[in-house]
Each structure stands twice: as C-alpha cells, then as structure tokens.
Amino acid sequence: MPIIGSNAGTIFPGGVDSFNEAYDPSLGPALQQLEGSEGFFPPNTLANITSQSIGDLYATSTVTLTAGSVFQTPLYLRAGQTVTNLSYYNAGTASSTPTNQWVGLAFPAGLSGATATSKCVAISADGTTTVHAANTLVTTALSSPYVVPTSGYYIAFVCVAATTGPNASAGVTMGTVGRGAFAPWPAGVGDTGKTTPYAVGATVGPTTAASACLLMYAN
C-alpha cells in the first residue's frame, strides 16, 4: 500500500505522508489518481492518517468482535513513520458489559504459514469497561508512540472482551474457498480467550482461518 498524500510536496520521498485527499502538485496526477483508485476516503474526524488496512470504499461489511478473540489485520508501515493511535469503527452494534479492550501492533506479520514468530511491538492500555456506542470511530492511543524501525507489513490487532459485540467495519469475509483455503490468511483471529493486553515482546499467535479484514487506521 503506497503512503502518499498532500504533505509529499515537502517531505516526499524522504518521509511519511498523510492521506487527506487534497490535490498535491508534487505528487502529480498519476500518484494522486492511485490514492483515489485504491479507495482511500478517510473520515474527516481523524487527522494525519498515515496508513490504513483497506480502502474505505471496500469496508462494506461488519464482523463481530467475539469476546477475547484477537482480530488481526495487516497494515503496511514504513520505516521512520510514527504510530500514535490505532482506530477502528464500531458499526451498528455497541458493546455490552465490556471488561477489557485494547489494540496494538505486532511484527513481523507472522500470518499463518509464515516461519517468523510475530511479537507484540506496541500496545495500548486496557480500556476496561468503556462502552463505545454504535457508529463510533474508536481511536485508542498506544502506550508509547511507536517509531517504525523497518518497512513492511505489520499486524494491527483489536481485542474486546464483552458480553455482546461490538461489531466493526470490515471488508467482506474471505471465507474458506479459493484464496481463503490457503495459508497464510492475511486477516482473521489469532489468539482467543484473551483479557489482559499483551506485553511488548510477547508472542502474538497467528491467524488460524480466513476472516474479514477490519478497516483500521494508523495516525
């Protein structure tokens, strides 16, 4: 996923740009067109998005964040980029009686079938009992801003332990046929039965089956 946008006039190609749809003369029409054609259409309530998992236009479905399951989505990050927050959308179902909720990053993308073991590199605090309403863009701060050391795919993950829901905006579930029959599965559930956040450095279990890819933003 390219990282391009309006700040490129001053920092491109030496730094990380943000997505904001503004015309950027330094990028030129070709790259500007690419940004648009990939469906990046970020919300105007979240500033300085530097990476996102999938194009907004493809987040046409939802997936229920089953209690204690770690939902993983690949997120391309570039060396030198700082990730302060991770965001996802609560869709039509709010959580009820949540007890734990957190987000984080893991690297390398130890997706199922990969040889490298994925480790947690950044984690948020536990949001515990906070109830997020339906139709909420939930932005959670990492405990420390994460400066990306190596370009590549990382795993952004979300875990909510609650009696019901929530559900989150996502692409259509891949299913178990076609590409979904082959590991590694790029998005899905890794560890289950979790309540407390990972410690930085802890192993993050790989996805075990294909699922939907959450729409997540980094800024």
Rounded to the nearest whole angstrom, what is the least distance from the CB of residue 72 to another protein in the complex? 19
What does the block give as tokens for 169? 């905006």
**What 3 state SS string does 7-48 have?**
CHHHHCCCCCCCECCCCCCCCHHHHHHHHHHCCCCCCCCCCC
Interface with another protein, residue 151, by CB under 8 A: no
Q: How far apart are CA 91 and CA 82, in angstroms?
A: 27
Q: Using CB under 8 A, which of the segments 26-34, 73-81, 165-173, 175-183 binds another protein?
A: 165-173
Rounded to the nearest whole angstrom, what is the least distance from the CB of residue 151 to another protein in the complex? 26
Rounded to the nearest whole angstrom, what is the least distance from the CB of residue 198 to another protein in the complex? 17
Residue 125 carries which DSSP code? P
Question: CB within 8 A of 178, min separation 6: which ones?
Answer: none
SS3 179: helix
Considering only residues 20, 61, 99, 203, which one is a binding residue for another protein as defined by CB under 8 A? 99
Rounded to the nearest whole angstrom, what is the least distance from the CB of residue 29 to another protein in the complex? 32
Interface with another protein, residue 176, by CB under 8 A: no
Mask 63-82, x = binds another protein (CB under 8 A)? -x-xx---------------
Give Cα separations from 72 to 16, 27, 97, 210 (angstroms): 23, 32, 23, 11
What does the block give as tokens for 127? 């949001």
Q: Which of 40, 66, 69 is nearest to 53 (CA)?
A: 40
Considering only residues 127, 180, 184, 205, which one is a binding residue for another protein as defined by CB under 8 A? 127
Q: Quick count: other Cβ atoms within 10 Å of Cβ 79? A: 11
Mask 21-40, x = binds another protein (CB under 8 A)? --------------------
Interface with another protein, residue 194, by CB under 8 A: no
Considering only residues 57, 79, 116, 141, which one is a binding residue for another protein as defined by CB under 8 A? 141
Interface with another protein, residue 167, by CB under 8 A: yes
By C-beta, is 37 or 128 nearer to another protein?
128
Q: How far apart are CA 207 and CA 183, in angstroms?
A: 9
Rounded to the nearest whole angstrom, what is the least distance from the CB of residue 86 to another protein in the complex? 10
Which residues here bind another protein, judged by CB under 8 A? 43, 45-46, 64, 66-67, 85, 92-97, 99-101, 124-141, 162-167, 195
